[in-house]
Structure 1
Amino acid sequence: MKIAILGTGYVGLTTGICLSEIGHYVTCIDINEQKIKNLQVGISPIYEPGLDELLVKNALEERLFFTSSFSEGLESAEIIIIAVGTPQRNDGAADLSYLEGAAVHIGTHIQPNTVVVIKSTVPVGTNEYIKDLIQKNCPKEISFEIVSNPEFLRQGSAIKDTMKADRIVIGSENEQAREKIKEMYKPLNVPFIMTNIRSAEMIKYASNAFLASKISYINEISNLCEAVGANVEDVAKGMGKDFRIGEAFLHAGIGYGGSCFPKDVKALLYTAKLNGVNFGFLNEVIAINDHQHELLVEKALKRFGSLAGKKIALLGLSFKPETDDMREAPSIKISRALLSLGAKVSAYDPVAIENAKHILGETIEYSSSVKEAVNNADAVFIVTEWNEFKELDLKSVTESMKNPIIFDGRNCILDSKLRDCGTVEYYPIGKPSILINVM
């Protein structure tokens, strides 16, 4: 099939590369000309394991193309996939301006009998609105169908999540359109869920809000565990073995971030209010997560009394491992809180430093290694659970610090590894602190 994809962010680029990998001819379109020029020579704008190799492979095999020209990209496309961003507005609603812009371009260039797929995360009713907008911008009456096909990609495992998806949701009122999209995905051999358009739109928001709620729940349990002397990891293990609950997303830490959970929870809450539904539960999910971002700073204040003049080393900046994405990353709020309290912040991340500079500027110091970041530090905050941090030589780390004090926001460090440190103070989330040879 000939497929056009509007947007070359995480969703659009990953989808385009994976569809070309299973044999389709895919043209990715983006208005950012520099991004397109880079993609044409095999340079990806995002960090995603395995993506660069598949990009180059499918471009060389002439199944994957990139252009900033809508007329060129949409010419002869059987399926048009919209994968542009829907960022959060100040009132919590989804900003549909990029989607609206895409609809105008599609209306100008769409060919008869095309299926338009909205993969962007959108509020219920958006597919119908965009279909009308495309029709209004067509120079003449053209027959086309629209399909809601939400994505469920996790940054850091986006290729796996595409090629070996749990399910593919296809929402449409037209049987032929549903079957065409089903045929497009057929080589993946994964389960399909067929719904109407509005149900498909709701599935994405409902899924992300549920996962965010599960994270906030276990984080609140972790705070209670600390108060009563329980171990949240044991509690989560005991809970997760119940098949009705499951083990996923029961890892206590300093809260969720990224481009999806924060904005999708708020967008669903906005939709509820708009439709007169009291969904106050989500307000609590958001409040718990906001507080969780502050937890390491609170622990450090309790330990030191004052952070003025203290050097704090942040290990991890991205919102999760295996990505350079800084959107809604806990490290942002943590860094700003530490600076406001007079601390000096040095930070290291394997891939996210350049993106962090766009947000935090030069307010903090950026290090090229763990060793450099922790040198003469009064404390270390582990903010992102990169494998590099899980496998740290803790003795070497603590020996180079001014004070061997670790605040672990992701419970990365095994208790057994701490015994080799000599002297260390270790403060995890939701379980007892460990003080070794501390006078």
Structure 2
Amino acid sequence: MKITIIGTGYVGLVTGACLAELGNDVFCLDVDQNKIDLLNNGGIPIHEPGLEEVVARNRAAGRLQFSTDVAASVAHGALQFIAVGTPPDEDGSADLQYVLAAARSIGRHMTGFKVIVDKSTVPVGTGERVRAALAEEIAARGSDATFSVVSNPEFLKEGAAVEDFMRPDRIVLGHDGDAAGLRAREMMKKLYAPFNRNHERTFWMDVRSAEFTKYAANAMLATRISFMNELANLADRVGVDIEAVRHGIGSDPRIGHSFLYAGAGYGGSCFPKDVQALERTARQYDQDLLILRAVEAVNDNQKQVLGRKIVASFGEDLAGRHFAIWGLAFKPNTDDMREAPARVLLGELLARGASAAVYDPVAMIEAKRVLALDLAPEQLARVRFAASPMDALDQADALAIVTEWKAFRSPDFDQIKARLKQPVVFDGRNLFEPEVMAEAGFEYHGIGRSVLTRR
């Protein structure tokens, strides 16, 4: 099938590359000429395991092309995927200007029948706004072109997006019930047929329900994370090991083990933005989502937990203190720094007069860009970007681990002790066992595990 993807960001590029991998002829459009030039020269603008190989393979096969030519992109695909950003507006609602601009561009150029697929995460009612924008542009030029709008939200985890796309646990598709909507359904059914050979993974519904499903899924996952983080903070006070609790409750099949890890808070481009957008939607309908307000508040607080533990150990004034930080991206296997807990911790330490050496296996370039925006020049001058995890430790008063990269899970503890001024570790992801750390001579601070390290 001929497919157009509008937007070559995280969702658009993964979607386009993976659909090309299935044998489709995919045209990826972006207004950023630099990004298109990078892609056409064999580069990748994001870090995502396996993506570079998929892109290269399908470019070489002629199934994947990148361009800024809007007219050519509209002419190419019978299926037009809108996969542009929906950043949070000042009030927390999703900013739909790029989605609607994409719809208008399609409407200005389209001929014949097109299926417009909303792949971006958008609030309930966006499909109707996209439909109106298309109809207005088509009417303005007196065209008889027809279309149908479909909602097909993505469920891709950063760091595992290619695998998630190629082996989906579900495909959510919302369509209209009129003749055009049923025609669109058949085209989407054909597109996703390769994923349904073993068993049906597609969930058909109306457009509004599909839009809502994406927000509901992310809100549920964010809720589980904040729930466990709040319990972990209580566990530290009452003498409970939160890891034992996690195993105990996760074994209940009604609960399960996923997203029950206590830590330093969630970040990224999805959970914070989507929780806020769903709250904003609720307010528009005079509803107050008390649970989600609490989820957001708990997460904001959790990003400060490591900083509070460090202050409790070293005092309010950290002038002259130096800390090592392992992990800057909001999660492993990505270079995404959006809403990353490490930014909060680093800002807190620097504001109290400390200096820091930081390291991340992938996100160093992005971290330099982001931290230059976050920090005052005087603060940034106190940050050293280390060449390796061990290099970051030299002369540090303590090590703080913020991202659970696999490379951090089995380090040389003797070397860590030798490089640190004193053997103190603040583990924001509970990578290590407190008993093992104590036996190795470390002062160890995990999340919700203080019962195992009290003396």
User: Partner of 1:152 in structure 2?
Assistant: 155
CA shift in 2, pair 1:304/1:419, >3 Å = closer
Q: Is the 8 A contact 2:127 2:151 kept in 1?
A: yes
Equivalences, count: 436
Which residue matches 2:422? 403
The match for 1:228 is 238
Do structure 1's residue 185 and structure 2's residue 204 form an aligned pair?
A: no
Corresponding residue number in structure 2 for 1:278: 288
1:350-361 counterparts in 2 under 5 A? 350-361=361-372
Aligned to 2:446: 428
**Helix, strand or coil: the match of 1:136?**
helix
- Aligned partners of 1:354, 1:332: CA distance in 2, in Å? 14
SS of the residue 1:144 aligns to: strand
Given that 1:135 and 1:141 are in contact with CA atoms closer than 8 Å, whether structure 2 keeps it comes out as no
- Kindly state the Cα deviation for residue 47 of structure 1 after the two structures are TM-superposed: 0.3
* Alpha-carbon distance in structure 2 between the residues aligned to 1:36 and 1:414: 46
What is the SS of the residue equivalent to 2:23? coil
Is residue 275–residue 292 contact of structure 2 (8 Å, CA) maintained in 1?
A: yes
User: Residue 29 of structure 2 corresponds to which residue in structure 1?
Assistant: 29
- Distance in 2 of aligned mates of 1:7 and 1:394: 45
Report whether the alignment pairs 1:329 with 2:340: yes
C-alpha deviation, 1:417, in angstroms: 4.8
Instruction: Name the CA distance, whole Å, in 1 between partners of 2:250 and 2:116.
Output: 40
Letter in 2 for 1:221: L
1:308 aligns with 2:319: yes
Query: Is the Cα contact below 8 Å between 2:100 and 2:129 reproduced in 1?
Result: no
Instruction: State the AA in 2 paired with 1:175.
Output: L
So what's the TM-score if we normalise by structure 2? 0.93
Deviation (angstroms), 1:15: 0.4
Q: Identify which range, 9-18 or 355-364, moves more after superposition.
A: 355-364
Of 407-416 and 142-151, more deviation after overlay is shown by 407-416
Q: Secondary structure at the match of 1:166?
A: coil
- The CA deviation string for residues 354-411 of structure 1, in whole angstroms up to 9 with x for no partner, is 1111221261221111111111100111000000111211211121001110000000
TM-score (norm. length: structure 1): 0.97
Q: Residue 116 of structure 2 contacts residue 149 of structure 2 at CA under 8 Å; is this kept in 1? A: yes
Query: For the residues of structure 2 that align with 1:192 and 1:370, how far apart are their CA atoms?
Result: 44
Q: What is the aligned partner in structure 2 of residue 121 from structure 1? A: 121
Q: 1:304 offset after TM fit, Å?
A: 1.1
Cross-structure match for 2:73: 73
What amino acid is aligned across from residue 187 of structure 1 in structure 2?
Answer: P
Q: Does the aligned pair in 2 maintain the 1:426–1:433 contact within 8 Å?
A: no
Unpaired stretches in structure 1, ≥5 consecutive residues: none
Is 2:250 aligned against 1:243? Answer: no
- Corresponding residue SS for 1:225: helix
**Following superposition of structure 1 onto structure 2, how do residues 23-102 of structure 1 map, counting pairs within 5 Å?**
23-102=23-102
Please list the CA deviations of residues 260-289 of structure 1 after superposition, one character each: whole Å capped at 9, or x if unmatched.
Answer: 000100000000010011212211111100
Instruction: Indicate the SS of the match to 1:381.
Output: strand
> How far, CA to CA, are the matches of 1:268 and 1:122 in structure 2?
10
Which letter maps to 2:410?
E
> Secondary structure in 2 aligned to 1:213?
helix
Contact 2:236 2:451 in 1 (8 A): no
Q: Does 1:212 align with 2:222?
A: yes
3-state SS in 2 of match to 1:75: helix
Structure 1 ranges of 4+ moved more than 6 A: none
Q: Which runs of 5+ in 2 are unaligned?
A: none
Give RMSD over aligned pairs.
1.4
Q: Write out per-residue CA displacement over residues 35-62 of structure 1, whole angstroms, 9 at most, x where no aligned residue.
A: 1111112211000000001110010011
Is the Cα–Cα contact under 8 Å of residues 326 and 403 in structure 2 kept in the other structure? yes
Structure 1 counterpart of 2:41, one-letter code: V
Cα contact 2:326–2:358 (8 A) shared by 1: yes
Deviations 1:142-175 (A, max 9, x none): 2111100000000000011101111000000122
Overall identity of the aligned pairs, in %: 45
**CA–CA separation in structure 2 for the residues paired with 1:68 and 1:394:** 51
Q: Which residue of 1 is the match for residue 211 of structure 2?
A: 201
Q: Match for 1:428: what amino acid?
A: G
* 8 Å CA contact retained: 2:434, 2:444: no
Question: Residue in 2 aligned with 1:103?
Answer: 103
Partners of 2:174 and 2:51 lie apart in 1 by 28
The residue type equivalent to 1:357 in the other structure is K
Q: How does 1:347-386 map to 2 (within 5 A)?
A: 347-361=358-372, 363=380, 364-386=383-405
SS of the equivalent of 1:26 reads strand
Q: Which moved more, 1:336-345 or 1:304-313?
A: 304-313
Q: 1:167 maps to what in 2?
A: 170
* 2:18 counterpart residue number: 18
* 8 Å contact from structure 1 (residues 379, 407) kept in 2: yes
When residues 76 and 301 of structure 1 are mapped into structure 2, their CA distance, relative to the original with a 3 A threshold, is closer
Instruction: State the distance in 1 between where 2:155 and 2:186 align.
Output: 20
Cα deviation code 1:167-189 (max 9, x no counterpart): 00000012221121121011122
Structure 2 CA distance, aligned partners of 1:393 and 1:414?
15
| Corresponding residue for residue 291 of structure 1 | 301
